Amino acid sequence: MVGIFVSGYLGLSGTLGAVADAIAYAIAISILIIAFDYIFGWVERKTIAKIQKRHGPTFAGKYGILQNLADFVKLLSKENVVPKNSDKLLFLSTIPIMLALSIFLIFLLPLAPTLLETNIGLGILVIFVLLSFMPLIIFANGFGSGNKFAAISAQRSVVMLISYELPLIFVIAAAGMLANGYNIADIVNAQSQWWFAILMPVGFVVFFIAMLAELERTPFDIREADNELIAGWLTDVSAPYYTLALFLDYTRMFLGSLLIAILFLGGWNGPLLPPVVWLLLKAFIVSFFIMIIRATMVRMRIDRLLRFGWIWLLPLSLLNLILTYVVFIA
Amino acid sequence: MKIDRTELVKKASDLKSQGYSYLVKLTAVDYEQHLEVIYILRNMKENKDETLEIDLDPADAWVPTLVGNFKAADWYEREMFEMFGIDVKGRNVERLLLEKWNGKAAPLRKNFTWNAPYETS
Amino acid sequence: MTTRINIGPVHPSTHGVLRLVADIDGDTVVNLEPHIGFLHRGVEKLVETRMYMQSPPYMEKLDYVAPLSYDEVYVATVEKAMGVEVKERAMWIRTILLELQRIASHLLWLGTMANDVGQFFTLFMWAFKDRDLVLRLLEEAAGARMFYVNMRIGGLIRDLPPGFEDSARDLLDYLDKRVREYEDFLEKNPIFMERMRGVGTISREMAVNLGVTGPVLRASGISYDVRKDNPYYVYGKLNFETQTRSEGDCFARYKVRMLEIKESIRLVREALNKMPAGDALGMPVKLILPSAKNRIVSVSRELPRGECMMYMVADPQRPYRLSIRSPTFINLAALREISKGCRTADIFAILGSLDVVMGDCDR
């Protein structure tokens, strides 16, 4: 949509037009991500405040809408302290890399049937392969920072990995079976009649829980565990990089919500409104739900998460795979 | 009851076998001429307290440890050692409250005035 | 191979300035050494230089979560040394205020403990809000929000204000509902139950041997409550149960405190109904107080955190020696034993369930 518009408007064609389209698309998606992060950050603060019977930000702007901007500017103006015994390369490079990676993954998602330029063949698999690099990068950061809390957090992030990655992949396999392929556009189109959340409710629940762990949201924010490990792998990260980390947090949440919306909630399918709006609306609702969980849940212990992953999530995801095959394919 | 420090452990374990198994308090008082160490033991079932008092000479202030019978005595003994300079024989006592303070004086003794200069290491 | 991590003294969930040195092997705690004393103010020495009624403000700052209770223990000790009788109505009012203070303290504990097991501040905010309502009521009665200093020898600084009883009754009805809500909120959460059940178990024998007090002791199945077993003030005339649980784990400690809040609500209601009219005023501070008659006195009280015993050697006008048995001190001493072999994340659940206040511990 955007791409066609730009090259047509500038009268460019061929390679130059494609480059112009790509740049315009990148800018548009970046603005979308920033807007989502900003608005969701505000909504989260306000809603959690309401749940907790406080007011939340009220001072900056109407209903405190500018509070996040104020915080952002304040944090950017702080000194960046790098711990003496940290590995500077690992410590400083990992958060930007993770941010770039999660933004890149959002680029890979087609947001509407007309925006299929970035839709690659095995899209969903590529996304999950890249997504599972995140804990490893966190591991690198945790060890690079030279802080014991960060190191413990890094270990936890890798240990956690084995409890939720497999169920995620099994559920995706089931979804791929239903859609007859791992192309995201195919998966969404396969849901024009029935959402996958209705076709495989067990898979949806397993995927949602595993996604919470993937996104390190409560009750699985074990590696960030702010009242055990201070801030987990972010303990020694100072203000400018912490801003990036917060940005990363919301971007990953956006990514996760988009993935849930695409895989299970019918993606851009919906009446009346334009497809992009439907997808974003669904992603927003999923994020909102994750936020409510954050406000009410207690953190799980890591050994319990492992047990939960192996005793419940993995068998259930396998069951889901088999059921899907038996009911819909065979 | 007043006892001698040599019979403390025996007396305490006797009391413990009679049901006085809960150490309520272990503290000391500096009466200037002598130091007094006070143990309050409680019989939870009959709801009775028994007080053991030991008089010590300030120059030769030590008591045997009670940690073997009452684990609760652990921190109390350390606190008493630190605040009164009363040594506890039979265990390794470390400073508890003022670990980093290098003053040698015992703060809760009467010869320690809190606004006077004190002897440091 | 063990890793040594240093938790605190500046850490989000050490409840003040407590330093824990933990040796962990993988995720299991091998040894945990609490280091205390960061808040040591030498109060025991300080009161020796002060006249009797100059000390209550110091006492209140010991346990800044339940200041009134500490104030009351000290004043009761002084009263016992002087041989002064407390006026009848003052006894009732003190009982009411102490129980309200217990509710406030337990509510604060509830919020912080929920935080310690990873609740994102929701229960913390709710409990703090309700605690503030209790504090407001206490403010009505005593004149200050946190540090009341309203105990006087033989009574109180002032009688209850008009309308106090009605607002107290309203508040109690409200709290009754809220406490039930909190219980539902936590106990219907399987993850919370998983975090609390079977964690940090103290057996009956161990509890006695370690000398833990208060709710921690009662959670291990020992029914000892100073209010019941050595009743002071009007506790003997009121109907209430000593709340005990037999499991001795974090959940039992949580449950005992929750039941105690309900019990306290019932107690205050009953005391408000039975309270006689009369005079409750104590001796003004500026008056020359009667000199202490008894040389050695010791007074035991059930504080929100456990039994506090003040052992005083009295000079005529000031304490010769005041020794405070602070409940947190002895409960915290048990932390090392309890947390052996637990998971790293459980350290904070256990610490939260012990309800430590470092001011009380360090004195």
Q: C155-156 and C19-25: which strand pairing?
A: unpaired
Instruction: Please report, for chain C, how many H helices and E strands are present, in that order.
Output: 15, 8
Q: Is CATH 1.10.645.10 what the domain over C3-362 is classified as, yes or no?
A: yes
Of B27, B70, B99, nearest to C37 by CB-CB distance is: B99
Chain B nearest C-alpha distance from C355 (Å): 18
Domains for chain B: give ranges and CATH numbers.
2-89 (3.30.460.80)
Residue A38, number of CB atoms within 10 A of its CB: 17
pLDDT digits (tens, 9 = 90+) for A80-115: 888 888 888 888 888 888 888 888 888 888 887 777
Confidence of residue C174 (pLDDT cuts 50, 70, 90): very high
Chain C neighbors of B94, CB-CB under 8 A: none
Confidence of residue A7 (pLDDT cuts 50, 70, 90): low
Whether residue C211 and residue B108 make contact (CB cut-off 8 A), yes or no, is no
In the sheet that holds C28-35, the strands lie side by side as C3-7, C19-25, C28-35
pLDDT digits (tens, 9 = 90+) for C19-71: 888 888 888 888 888 888 888 888 888 888 888 888 888 888 888 888 888 88
Chain A neighbors of C126, CB-CB under 8 A: 52-53
pLDDT digits (tens, 9 = 90+) for C137-161: 888 888 888 888 888 888 888 888 8
Q: What is the ipTM of this complex?
A: 0.84
Confidence of residue B49 (pLDDT cuts 50, 70, 90): confident
pLDDT digits (tens, 9 = 90+) for C318-355: 888 889 988 988 888 888 888 888 888 888 888 888 88
Confidence of residue A1 (pLDDT cuts 50, 70, 90): very low
Whether B3 and chain C come into contact, CB under 8 Å, resolves to no
pLDDT digits (tens, 9 = 90+) for B69-107: 888 888 888 888 888 888 888 888 777 777 777 767 788
pLDDT digits (tens, 9 = 90+) for A196-237: 888 888 888 999 988 888 888 878 887 777 777 777 788 888
Whether A53 and chain C come into contact, CB under 8 Å, resolves to yes
Check the CA dihedral C160-C165-C169-C170 and report its sign: negative
pLDDT digits (tens, 9 = 90+) for A185-199: 888 888 888 888 888
Average the pLDDT over C91-95 and give the result. Answer: 90
For chain A, percent of residues with pLDDT exceeding 90: 1
For chain A, percent of residues with pLDDT exceeding 70: 95
pLDDT of residue B120: 53
Contact A293, A219 (CB under 8 A): yes
Chain C nearest C-alpha distance from B6 (Å): 22
Inter-chain Cβ pairs, chain A and chain C, closer than 8 A: 85
Q: Which of A4-8, A9-13, A32-36, C43-47 has the lowest mean pLDDT?
A: A4-8
Whether residue A48 and residue C120 make contact (CB cut-off 8 A), yes or no, is yes
Q: Write the secondary structure of A43-64 as one string of H (helix), E (strand) and C (coil).
A: HHHHHHHHHCCCCCCCCCCHHH
pLDDT of residue A8: 66
Chains near B (3 or more Cβ pairs under 8 Å): C
Higher pLDDT among residues A158 and A8, named by residue: A158
Give the residue among C357, C333, C262 at the shortest CA–CA distance from C67. C357
What is the rounded CA–CA span in Å between residue A230 and residue A254?
25
Residue in the structure block whose two tokens are 């698309």: A25
What letter does residue C159 receive in the DSSP assignment?
P
Question: Does pLDDT of B119 surpass 70?
Answer: no
Chain C nearest C-alpha distance from B112 (Å): 10
Tell me which residues of chain B, numbers 67 to 86, contact chain C at a CB-CB cutoff of 8 Å: 70-72, 74-76, 79, 83
Confidence of residue B121 (pLDDT cuts 50, 70, 90): very low
Chain A neighbors of C5, CB-CB under 8 A: 148-149, 152
pTM comes to 0.88
Residue to substitute from C120, C189, C250, interface A, most A β-carbons within 10 A? C120
Q: Which of A3-7, A48-52, B6-10, C114-118 has the lowest mean pLDDT?
A: A3-7
Whether residue A228 and residue C343 make contact (CB cut-off 8 A), yes or no, is no
